[in-house]
Amino acid sequence: MKMQDEERKLEGGGRPLVTDHESQGTDRLPRVTGHESRVTPCGPRVTARAARCSRCVYARRPTGRWLRLILSRWSGLLLCTNHPDAQGDILGVPACSRCRNFRPKPDPVERIDVGDQRGLAVCTIPLTRKKVATVDAVDFERVNRYKWCADCVGLQWYAQRRAHGRTIRMHQFIMNPPKGMVVDHANGNGLDNRRENLRLCTKLENAWNKRRRKAAGAGSEYIGVYPCRRPPGKWCIKIMCKGEVTNLSPFDTPQEAARVRDRKAIELFGDYAMLNFPEEREQRLREIEAIRKAQDGGQKTQDGKTLDTDSHG
């Protein structure tokens, strides 16, 4: 009898674990007591993502030898450490029950198998959330020593890890920027960490090349393009640089306004301009050069309209 009493004590607290069916002296399946608790059915209607104790971070299976021996009679019983009916105590709960303190377990980390990277000029680093980062072969061995995760900031994805209580981004780890400088992705892809895509710049220049969310009520899918109030049916552009706002209008179509906006952005921000049509950057540069030649020659040009570069060759 004394041996049985010793077996019924928990390893940490020394208090006996008492469940509902023990107090009632019956062999029924244990149920969670209290008005805040309920037992959900364990039939086929319950989905894999159902909120129940088996998916709660506070419910654990017994690990101690004597505890496993005691609870071997009820294989589905879990130990809850944060139940509202027994705060600070360990309470036995069935796997299909649920209470108000339910907190789902995090999803398991999934990484894509990238295979053998030897002999490749450009290598990939597996990240969490089924993402991958791209690095040069010369940086692969140094970067691949660590486990990296994917993090979304606004509209941009980055590869990062935690070390000594701080966050280290992969592009910063590769370039090691000096104090006062940051690393910018030339093509706007935060997971493309090849050295040809990384460049050192100031924080202001980095902000120029940052993707932005569509403004509420913008009425256009293009950056810096808005519908005109007067005249109606036309489009205007608005761009700000160093506190100064430039407005140009009107334009017949939003595409025309977006291309003029891109040309003005290149004039103001240079290589760090975020464009609506990045594949047409060279064409915008030729237009800017043609406008400058026309102005130097004393010819009048209408700013805000697409210029025919062939007429200024």
pLDDT tens for 224-236 read 898 998 888 899 9
Rg of the chain over CA atoms, in angstroms? 32
Which of 63, 83, 98 is where one domain is finished? 98
Residue 146 confidence (pLDDT): 95
Identify the domain boundary among 98, 132, 151.
Answer: 98
Q: Average pLDDT, stretch 9-26? A: 42
Query: Which residue has tokens 């108000």?
Result: 100
> pLDDT-derived band of residue 12, with 50, 70 and 90 as boundaries?
very low
What are the beta bridge partners of residue 185? 198
Sign of torsion over alpha carbons 75, 81, 83, 86: positive
Query: What 3-state class would DSSP assign to 307?
Result: coil
Percent of the chain with pLDDT over 70: 72
Q: Where are the extended beta strands (E) located within 89-155?
A: 91-94, 97-98, 122-126, 132-136, 149-153
Sorting pLDDT into bands at 50, 70 and 90, what band is 143? Answer: very high
Confidence band for 299, pLDDT divided at 50, 70 and 90: low
Same domain, 11 and 92: yes
- Using an 8 Å Cβ cutoff, are 257 and 235 in contact? yes
Residue 261 CA to chain centroid, in angstroms? 29
| Residue type at 44 in one-letter notation | P
pTM summary value: 0.59
Please indicate, yes or no, whether residues 239 and 307 belong to a single structural domain of this protein: yes
For residues 237 and 261, give the distance between their C-alpha atoms in angstroms, rounded to a whole number: 6
Asked, for residue 215, whether it belongs to a domain, the answer is: no
**Percent of all residues in the chain with a pLDDT value above 90, rounded to a whole number:** 35
- Regarding whether 148 and 92 lie in a shared domain, the answer is no
pLDDT tens string 31-49: 444 334 443 333 333 344 4
pLDDT-based confidence at residue 208 (cuts at 50, 70, 90): confident
| Element containing residue 80 per DSSP (H, E) | strand 77-80
What confidence score (pLDDT) does residue 172 get?
Answer: 96
Q: Which of 96-100, 144-148, 286-290, 298-302 is predicted with the least confidence, judged by mean pLDDT? A: 298-302
Residue 17 confidence (pLDDT) above 70: no
How many structural domains compose the chain? 3
Asked whether residue 219 is assigned to any structural domain, the reply reads no
**The pLDDT of residue 266:** 93
CATH number at residue 127: 3.90.75
Q: Summarize pLDDT for 45-91 with one digit per residue, the tens.
A: 334 446 678 888 888 777 777 666 666 666 677 888 888 888 778 88
- Assess if residue 88 is contained within a domain: yes
How far apart are alpha carbons 28 and 8 in whole angstroms? 19
Q: Are residues 25 and 84 in the same domain?
A: yes
Are 54 and 95 spatial neighbours (Cβ–Cβ below 8 Å)? yes
187 with 257, same domain: the answer is no
Q: Given this model, what pLDDT does residue 6 score?
A: 46
Domain boundary (158, 177, 208) is at: 208
- 106 is a domain residue: no
Beta carbons of 128 and 146 less than 8 angstroms apart: no
> Would you say residue 180 lies in a domain?
yes
175 and 243 co-located in one domain: no
* 7 part of a folded domain: yes
Range of the domain at 173: 122-208
Residue 110 lies in a domain: no
